[in-house]
Amino acid sequence: MGSLFRSEEMCLAQLYLQSEAAFACVSELGELGLAQFRDLNPDVNAFQRKFVNEVRRCDDMERKLRFLEKEVKKDNLAIDDTGENPPAPLPREMIDMENKFDKLETEMKSVNSNQEALKKNFLELTELKHILRKTQQFFEQIILTKYKKNNNQAALYQQDQETHVPQQYDDETPLIASEFSRSFNRFGFVAGVLMRDKISAFERVIWRACRGNVFLRYTEIEAELEDPHTGDKVNKYVFIVFFQGDQLKSRIKKICTGFRATLYPCPETPQERREIALGVMTRIEDLQTVLNQTADHRRMVLSQVALNIRVWLIKVRKIKAIYHTLNLFNVNIEKCLIAECWCPVVDIDRIQLALRRGTELSGSSVPSIMQQMQTKENPPTYNQTDKFTSGFQAIIDAFGVSNYREVNPAPFTIITFPFLFAVMFGDMGHGLLMFLFALYLVLKENRYMKHKPEDEIFKMMFDGRYLILLMGLFSIYTGFLYNECFSRSINIFGTSWNVRAMNFTDNDVFLATNPVVTLDPNKPGVFRGYPYFYGIDPIWQSAENKITVQNSYKMKNAVLMGFAQMIFGLSLAFCNRRHFKDKLTLYCELLPQLLFLCALIGYLCMCILYKWSVWTVAQSNTAPSLLIGLIDMYMLTDPKSNNRVPLYTGQYQVQIFLVIVTVLCVPWMFLSKPYILYKRSKQKKGVRLDSQSDDDVAILHHENNDANYGKQEPESFDMSEVIIYQAIHTIEFCLSCISHTASYLRLWALSLAHSELSEVLWSMVMHTGLATSGTSGAILSFFVFWFFSSLTVSILLVMEGLSAFLHAIRLHWVEFQSKFYKGEGYIFSPFSFTLIVEGKVEE
Amino acid sequence: MVLLSKEDYRHLTQCDTLEDLKLHLQGTGYGHFLANEPSPLTVSVIDEKLREKLVIEFEYIRNHAYKDLATFLDFIKYSYMIDNIILLITGTLHQRQLSELLPKCHPLGIFDQMETVTIASTTADLYNAILVDSPLAPFFKECISEEDLNEMNIEIIRNTLYKAYLEAFYDWCQQKGGATADVMCEILAFEADRRSIIITINSFGTELTKEDRAKLYPRRGKLYPDGLLELSKADEYEAVKRVSELYAEYKPLFDGTGNNPGDKTLEDKFFEHEVTLNVNSFMQQFQYGVFYSYVKLKEQECRNIIWIAECIAQRHRAKIDSYIPIM
């Protein structure tokens, strides 16, 4: 079992690195990802550490790269991802990189500011264009209304306008314009552009501030304009305000600035407007070409960046991570850095190899030294996982990371978890669907590994794909046992029951008139004498008392499985005690616990099995109830005295013995351990007093050593604390024996719920479709099927599956792991580039 | 998001440069808010970014709030709007350009019509043309007059606005009832009293008459009504002190204040008391006070960071410790 059964053996090692070789060595270790460095300067501020300047330079480089990346993304260029993993560059290359990024940043910035200026210019021109166009419409509308009022030539004028505008326009407009300007020349006007969301507030303020003495017209610009600074698309309005007098003019201008409206000069006569419009159009065209050229240039620069930026980012992140790690080291000795790290004992060779490579790379002559240290501190927990086991390990770690070298329940969970899930989710059809879904994920694994799924829920399912695969597989298995496939049974081997053998008077007539008949297994031939070959007989599917029979069967099964798992948990505790050489707990706690559980629940399981195997159908009328038997056992009543049939001869005597054992176990669990601890501490005190005079110096020296490694176990012994602790544990265990067994009944309850729900879905939905005959039935079935299948997936697979999953988790975390698992360790988090580059680790 | 701890402040005060400050703030709840700023850093950049962060957080809460909480959060915003308007009017009075004034406005108090206040020359103008549409309109009713805007007038407008605002806010919280009223009325009462006291102290030696001054006192604090009556008669600092010492809450604030070096100013004492009140509001659950306190404490924290940053930037370390401790 090796590595999965217990966490890796760890050791604390001290590294002596030459100053010039340190960078390369740490870089090699980062690629390896097997060492967890400890902070040797916990009292030093972040900005007082030795390599803080290098970290800062990296921060700056990262900032520049982020800026470039943002620009690349703005242009929708694809960032090249070759999957290449460049090694961390040497420190002297850092300056080159800095220069390169600096140049790129300044270039990008100048391109940007150029483009912004051009865009601003462009925006202004476009706005002016729109203003000229829109104001033209305003003026024309006014003229038209005037014409309509004065004479009916308006229609004619309009016709002229529509048919031959270009020629006639010039001849006719001056006349109109002059007339128009005569009537309007007393009025000044201001035209401008304003953001869409401000227009209503603007209108109100203008109206109020000028006391209604102005005339405001506005209309929306249909095209979206681009904000030159942010690049966002914005909607704007063109407005024109007519007013009288200079005072109003200055006031309106102030309001316009207040609302950040851009004002544009707009000539009064149509000719001038047309001229300007023409000029604007040509200028816009020119500007467009210039803009395109800048955009091309920008694209060129950015496409270069896009090719390399991923590699650059990885390099910078690696350098930064290395300097962060170097900051953890002790730098007090000259020319040498001292580091302390946790590493797995089996990988020491690989680490040493990496150190040698690093030293060679840096060209240093003095080798780096690694030496193991003795420590009393708790080492971190490191469970090696692969893609298959990681999902199961994650379930265990979610409850609590195991103590160092404690039995890791993950390998057993690989089988027990899907099995317990499947007991609650037993259905061949549903299991098959689940299995196929997981199989798809497993087969497409490589594709999804490369392009990490964004969706969180999907990602979760993807991470647990092997778990789901096994869950589906086991569900098919238990579905076979329950003989259920979408709640229907399959008759493969032929049922063991025979209705004809009942010999009803005039069989056919009787069956035709009685929809329900009772089959008596005691009549010869009705039950063929051998059970259905595999799983539950399909005849039960049509039986009226199907649920009653299955309930009794599944309930007992749940108790049996629960007992098995709890006993297994206790045997793992036994492994733990053996491994930690804790004989005291083994004999004073574990042994009575085992006896208690066996005498209480184990005996019940025995009875269940005994009754199943010995009591036959013929005796079923007189068979004793197990529940009453259990109650009698603890009431210490003889079943014979109540005229009950005993389960077996000598039941009373056996039960009395078991009750005595059970009762005796309680004080054993409660008192023996505190008593022995008390004795020991008394003894120790005596020894200490003796030894102190003898080797005072030796002890002092020893304690000095200990102090170096931090925490020291407190020597003081508090009797009351031990007793309270033990009392709590004893009470908890005794109660939990009952409550945990009862808790396993959820296996039955959920399985019942699942089969009932799928039964209901079948009979209420699918059945109605299939029961209708003829063409209408075919059409109905077609539609009903979609309804049925979507409900099957959403309710039975997803919802029920989730609920069974949660209950399976609970059974593992609480009922199983409470028997042996402490889960108070801390996880081994090595310094590894793969995690850092993927951004999974915050510095 | 948590506030900075004592430990954090200790580290911040030990920084030698603003870069160090940035590095340390990265390790706190502020995270990487300065990560995209090129060196060298300046205090104004830090200030701007801190403010931006606060505003983003506030707007986030505001966007998720509805009904009563939305009204409550809007009330918080109103005080910033008042400040902004006053800032703009004063600025225009001194012939400053709008573009120069706008960056100084608090982003929480920006509203559509704000920038047009420059066109108003009288208070009536200000109300009729501009503020009538803004949420501040109800507070403005008391100070409409045909007088031209001058410095004195503006101060009066500011204080009248604040008075109306505080009273409205107080009444709203009172009407809301429950724990919100318990917490907020306490804080707002203090705010009202602080304003009354400060107005009185600042009015000495100005042409403000005592009757006018009495009109500016927000009438919701603990000083109302007796204390305010006494306060309106005061014409020297000692008199204010005598009035305040009759109230158990304010007595300690006046003790030990003075302008001697090493003494804390009255203003600092007030700030400290406000911080205590705001911290206490987190002791109660299911009430809106925490939002108000959160904004105020965050703001105080920003002021502290800026103070420390200024001290570092100006190499004036002697006073670096005189920030207002929060926890």
Q: Which amino acid is at A510?
A: F
Q: Which of A294, A309, A328 is the last residue of a domain?
A: A328
Inspect the interface and report whether the beta carbons of B98 and A257 lie closer than 8 Å: yes
User: Which candidate, A624, A667, A671, A669, places its Cα nearest to that of A644?
Assistant: A624
AA letter at B263: D
Residues A553, A429, single domain; the answer is yes
Statement to judge: residues A645 and A780 lie in one domain = yes
3-state secondary structure of A222: coil
Is the pLDDT at B262 greater than 70? The verdict is no
Q: How far off is chain A from B312, nearest CA to CA, in Å?
A: 15
* Residue A98 near chain B (CB below 8 Å): no
My answer on whether A406 and A308 are in the same domain is no
In a domain, A109, yes or no: yes
pLDDT in the model for residue A695: 45
Q: What is the pLDDT of residue A472?
A: 95
Residue of A56, A201, A255 lying closest to B133 (CB–CB)? A201
Contact assignment for A201 to B35 by CB distance below 8 Å:
no
Which residues fall within 8 angstroms of residue A273, CB to CB, at 6 or more apart? A132, A135, A136, A266, A267
- Tell me, yes or no, whether A31 lies in a domain: no
How many other C-beta atoms are found inside a 10 Å radius of the C-beta of residue A151?
9
A775: Cβ contacts below 8 Å, ≥ 6 apart: none
End position of a domain, from candidates A267, A289, A316: A267
Chain A CB contacts of B115 under 8 Å are: 257-260
CB distance A320 to A91 below 8 Å: no
Same domain, A303 and A257: no
Could you give the CA distance from residue A597 to residue A669 in angstroms, rounded to a whole number?
A: 12
Closest CA relative to residue B221, chosen from B162, B276, B264: B162
Say if the Cβ atoms of A47 and B116 lie within 8 Å: no
C-alpha A369/C-alpha B232 separation (Å) is 81
Alpha-carbon span A336 to A368, nearest angstrom: 9
Burial class (CB in 10 A: 0-12, 13-18, 19+), A40: middle
Q: Are residues A198 and A302 in the same domain?
A: no
Q: What is the DSSP letter of A642?
A: G
Q: How many CB atoms lie within 10 A of CB A468?
A: 23
| A256 Cα to chain B: minimum distance (Å) | 8
CB contact under 8 A, B119 and A258: yes
Which of B23, B41, B96 would you mutate first to test chain A, the one with the most A CBs within 10 A? B23
Among chain B residues, the shortest Cα distance to A44 is held by: B11
Is the separation of the CB atoms in A380 and A712 below 8 Å? no
Whether A137 and A226 share a structural domain: no
Q: How many helices (H) and strands (E) does chain A have?
A: 29, 10
Distance (Å) from the C-alpha of residue B26 to the closest C-alpha of chain A? Answer: 10
* A304 and A287 share one domain: yes
Nearest to A205 among B38, B39, B129 (CB): B129
Cβ-defined contact of A205 to B39 (cutoff 8 Å): no
Chain B: closest CA distance from residue A254 (Å): 6
Query: Which residues on chain B are in Cβ contact (under 8 Å) with A46?
Result: 11, 23-24, 26-27
Does B22 score more than 50 pLDDT?
A: yes
Q: How far is B24 from chain A (nearest CA, A)?
A: 7
Contact list, B26 vs chain A (CB under 8 Å): 46
- The count of domains in chain A is 3
| A430 within some domain | yes
Chain-chain contact of A45 with B115 (C-beta, under 8 angstroms): no
Q: Are A23 and A91 in contact (CB under 8 A)?
A: yes
Helix (H, G, I), strand (E, B) or coil at A340: strand
Give residue ranges of B with CB < 8 Å to any A CB.
Answer: 11, 14-16, 19-20, 23-24, 26-27, 35-39, 98, 112-119, 125, 128-130, 132-133
CB contact under 8 A, A47 and B23: yes
**pLDDT value at position A707?**
42
Residue B177: pLDDT above 80?
Answer: yes
CB-CB under 8 Å, B27 with A45: no
Q: What is the 3-state secondary structure (H, E, C) of A139-166?
A: HHHHHHHHHHHHCCHHHHHHHHHHHCHH
A424/A421 Cα distance (integer angstroms): 5
Structural tokens at position A388 = 């298959």
Among residues A326, A53, A322, A62, the alpha carbon closest in space to that of B17 is found at: A53
User: In the prediction, which pLDDT does A708 show?
Assistant: 44
Q: Which domain holds residue A415?
A: 389-490+517-684+721-819
CATH number, domain at A129?
1.20.1460
Q: What pLDDT does A698 receive?
A: 42
Task: Indicate yes or no: CB of B35 within 8 angstroms of CB of A257.
Answer: no
Task: Please tell me whether residues A785 and A637 are part of one structural domain.
Answer: yes
A364 DSSP assignment = -
Contact of A195 with chain B, judged by CB distance below 8 Å, is answered with no
Q: Which of B119, B126, B134 to mutate to test the interface with A (most CBs of A within 10 A)?
A: B119
Q: Does A459 touch chain B (CB under 8 A)?
A: no
Look up the ipTM and state it.
0.78
Q: Measure Cα distances from A686 to A252, A527, A720 in Å.
A: 99, 77, 21
Within B15-42, residue ranges assigned H as helices are 18-26
Q: Nearest 5°: phi and psi at A370?
A: -125, 130
* pTM for the whole structure: 0.73
pLDDT of residue A409: 92
CA distance readout (Å), A58 to A39, A92, A131: 21, 13, 50
Are A319 and A397 part of one and the same domain? no
**List of chain A residues whose C-beta atoms are within 8 Å of the C-beta of residue B308:** none
- CB A258 to CB B11 under 8 A? no
**For residue A76, is it within any domain?**
yes
Q: Is residue B146 predicted with pLDDT exceeding 80?
A: no
∠ CA A515-A521-A527, rounded to 5°: 95
Domain end (from A287, A313, A328):
A328
Model pLDDT, residue A184? 54
pLDDT at A1: 39
Q: Which residue of A lies nearest to B28 if distances are taken between CA atoms?
A: A46
pLDDT of residue A688: 65
Pick the residue from chain B with its C-alpha nearest to A260.
Answer: B115
Q: Nearest Cβ partner of A201 from B98, B112, B125?
A: B112
* Domain identity same for A625 and A758: yes
Both A226 and A307 in a single domain? no
Q: A607: closest CA among A568, A562, A559, A565?
A: A559
Q: Does A39 touch chain B (CB under 8 A)?
A: no
Read off the tokens for A301. Answer: 């620069």
Q: What is the pLDDT of residue A741?
A: 94
How many CB atoms within 10 Å of residue A737? 19
Q: Tell me what percent of chain A is helix, strand and coil, each rounded to the nearest 5.
A: 65, 10, 25
Is the domain of A316 the same as that of A458? no
CB atoms A45 and B24 under 8 Å: yes
Q: What is the mean pLDDT of chain B?
A: 85
CA distance A115 to A353: 53
Which pLDDT score, from 0 to 100, does residue A151 have? 54
d(CA B160, CA B216): 6
Q: What is the pLDDT of residue A597?
A: 94
**Closest residue in B to A199 (Cα–Cα):** B112
Chain B interface includes A636 (CB < 8 A): no
Q: Is A499 inside any structural domain? A: no
Say if residues B151 and B137 touch (Cβ distance below 8 Å). Answer: no
A841 belongs to a structural domain:
no
When scoring A108, A243, A254 by the number of chain B Cβ atoms within 10 A, the one with the most, hence best to mutate, is A254
Cβ neighbours of B11 in A, within 8 Å? 45-46
Residues of chain A with pLDDT under 70: 1-3, 146-186, 505-507, 688-716, 839-843
User: Do residue A258 and residue B23 have CB atoms under 8 angstroms apart?
Assistant: no
Contact B35 A60 (CB under 8 A): no
Nearest alpha carbon to residue A14 among A338, A322, A353, A357: A338
Q: Kindly determine whether residue A47 and residue B36, on different chains, have CB atoms separated by under 8 Å.
A: no
Query: What distance in Å separates the CA atoms of residue B242 and residue A352, rounded to the nearest whole number?
Result: 78
Exposed / middle / buried, residue A399 (Cβ in 10 Å: 0-12, 13-18, 19+): middle
In a domain, A713, yes or no: no
**Residue A430 phi, psi (nearest 5):** -65, -40
Work out the number of other CB atoms within 10 angstroms of the CB of residue A836.
21
Reported as a pLDDT band with limits 50, 70 and 90, residue B263 is low
Whether residue A291 is contained in a domain is answered as yes
Average pLDDT for B205-226: 84
Is A259 in CB contact (< 8 Å) with chain B?
yes
- A306 min Cα distance to partner chain B (Å): 20
